[in-house]
A and B are shown apart, each in its own frame.
Chain A
């Protein structure tokens, strides 16, 4: 789309098709002829044809819409924002979170709470990390702001649970160590775009 087109905000007036609606006939003969015309138009049979066609399509051509939900599930978009996942580094298996606290800072509903401390190697360690899913609005800012792609949104949308604290502790969201192979890189909001390399520009030396 060119800029010209984009700037034209006057949309909706160009492509209108004026329907040729007839006026209500005033004479008895006119009314009668309209009844006859409408009666013999065959639109009712078009309706019958459409429903029968849909039935045949559904039964014999596999165009049934129903997903038997608990047994079948539709694939969801990688950009879907459900319960968060905490990812691990693929090489070492250590969690990616560096304890910078940006997610806690940016969270607009103040539902992330984290505590960090220095471990024996003087490395930041997450000692406490919870998300209050009663407050979380799944805006995705935490995933977007995370410099390490450590907190991302997963696809876990069935969030009924017995306790409010379910799903929301760091260990619950963290990829299990034995499932590290199955850990998928996040494609959604805040992830590195597929053409990220092309978009990198050299900083001008004269800067």
Chain B
């Protein structure tokens, strides 16, 4: 994999960026659990977490303390190595995927700070020319976490969970790639910055007006990828206890969720950059603010859908992806190609 590093980007800047991503996205992912509980509660006319801190804002802290201090149990007959590594795969791949996402704008650390002063911190840790592919590939690799976790724990629910992981993986991956292919053809690049620049001409130039079908397909596939509600088959409590996470406790369990929420953020960022105009200025609103709004909207959409919709059976997911979404995606690609040639 070729990494094109801009000349002024030093390894120190990349490391600082990586630490920033890790720290801030973990915090946001933790905060995401709070947001999810709050939004779901409001949609059911409840209050949600209220007692830890004002409006329950410190609930994350309480959850964190609980997760960190809980006993980490490894089942007797589990494959210990794989059991212990699997959550790290989910969390790590989620963050690796984020390394190719422009998360915050470029900045240079002020000179007066010792040691690090003057270091240029790029907007993304690795500005790959195949950004989209890398992100999708990394997120897809993230499903090895649930797959291995379910099979390593010597638990039937876990096996069911990992079987469902395999089904889900086989289903959505085609749709993700094909749905995003049409925008890639229009832009002619895989770099997220190119995508952003392509849509620089205000709301009318957003990709979602040219490729509405691709947006819908991408969102559906993205929901399946992050295993959010219409497709939350892997650990649906009502059916398979907790699926792949049945035997997990404490921080290892928490790592699955940090990974899941980081993936939600990644999908939101991708949807915002590829389809909704990215971080271009919108009227008087600055670009960084606009993209935060967009990411927040797509994040909210995931919670909203979770509150509103029931989830599908695994076979329905497979049916949907292979028999409905994939043909639509292919037709979309073909039509886009004809339009571009004409």
Contact = CB atoms under 8 A, between A and B. Distances in A.
A, B co-complexed: yes
Contacts of A66: 45-47
A64 B309 contact: no
Given A44-B309, A47-B309, A57 B43 contact: no
A44 B216 CA distance: 13
B174 interface: no
B46 A65 contact: yes
B181 interface: no
Contacts of B47: 64, 66, 68
A51 B45 contact: no
Q: Is the interface of A mostly helix, strand, loop or mixed?
A: helix
B46 A51 contact: no
Given A66-B47, A68-B50, A59 B42 contact: yes
B102 to A, nearest CB: 29
A52 B45 contact: no
Nearest to A63: B45
20 contacts: A47-B309, A48-B304, A48-B308, A48-B309, A51-B304, A51-B307, A52-B43, A54-B43, A54-B44, A54-B45, A55-B42, A55-B43, A58-B43, A63-B45, A64-B45, A64-B46, A65-B45, A65-B46, A66-B46, A68-B50
Interface residues on A, range: 10 to 19
A47 B306 CA distance: 11
A57 to B, nearest CB: 7
A102 interface: no
B251 interface: no
Given A51-B43, A52-B43, 7 more contacts: A47-B308, A54-B43, A54-B44, A55-B42, A57-B45, A59-B42, A63-B45
B305 interface: yes
Q: Which of A51, A58, A66 has the most CB of B within 10 A?
A: A51
A159 B47 CA distance: 27
A57 B45 CA distance: 8
A164 B324 CA distance: 65
A55 B50 contact: no
B42 A58 contact: yes
Contacts of B46: 58, 64-66
Contacts of A58: 42-43, 45-46
Interface string B205-240: 000000000000000000000000000000000000
B174 to A, nearest CB: 19
B40 to A, nearest CB: 9
A139 interface: no
B39 interface: yes
Contacts of A63: 45
Q: Which of B39, B50, B304 has the most CB of A within 10 A?
A: B304
A35 B44 contact: no
A50 interface: yes
Contacts of A59: 42
B220 to A, nearest CB: 11
A35 B323 CA distance: 11
A66 to B, nearest CB: 4
Nearest to A53: B43
Contacts of A68: 47, 50
Nearest to A39: B324
- The 4 tightest CB contacts between A and B, nearest first, are A47-B308, A58-B45, A51-B308, A51-B43
B305 A48 contact: yes
Interface string B7-51: 000000000000000000000000000000001001111110010
Interface in A37-96: 39, 44, 47-48, 50-52, 54-55, 57-59, 63-66, 68
A55 B39 contact: yes
Interface string A16-54: 000000000000000000010001000010011011101
A48 B45 CA distance: 15
Contacts of B42: 54-55, 58-59
A68 B46 CA distance: 10
A69 B324 CA distance: 49
Contacts of A57: 45
A12 to B, nearest CB: 29
A65 B48 CA distance: 11
Nearest to A35: B324
A55 B308 CA distance: 11
